[in-house]
Amino acid sequence: MLMQRHLEPYRAEIASKPQDIVEQAAIIWKCIYSVLLTYLDSHPNWLVRKHEVLSSNPVAELMDLYETLGLEWSARVEENVVRYTRCGNPVDAPKGTVHYLRRDSVANITRWREILTEEEIARVYEITLPISSSYYQNENWGIFARPSTKARDGRRRS
């Protein structure tokens, strides 16, 4: 059902046995976020926040999200947000640890640029472009970007 309704355009890519983890991740990302676009078109009242937006200023962004959702923001919530996202926390989880949630959220935003090679970033860009251009502006991609694509701002759709 998922394949028929949403992923048919990507059937060949999915079945092609991607050459490595980077290509696999890019195809999975494209599939997930294309389905999200479909759902957002059907549910314009849904609220979506990009990871990068939340990570750039966690206290302010999460406070805004709490307010939007009618949740109560408290000193304890804020302390936890700061503790789990502050500068000085590791950017990566300790080796061998899968679920380590305390991260330097601002440093984590661009971590992919340090982990991936230029060739890998270019491949991810090319694979995801049909969908990523709905979420990200070309300047987010640096030298790999093509001119002029507009992104959704990661806020409530209107």
Using 50, 70 and 90 to split pLDDT, how confident is the model at 141? confident
Q: What is the pLDDT of residues 25-43, one digit of tens each?
A: 999 999 999 999 999 999 9
Helix runs in 43-117, H state only: 51-56, 58-69, 75-85, 105-109, 111-115
**Where are the chain's structural domains?**
29-141
According to DSSP, residue 73 is labeled P
> Among residues 87, 31, 102, 91, which one has the least CA distance to residue 57?
87
pLDDT at 133 over 80: yes
Q: Which two tokens stand for residue 129?
A: 């472009």
Give the length of the chain.
158
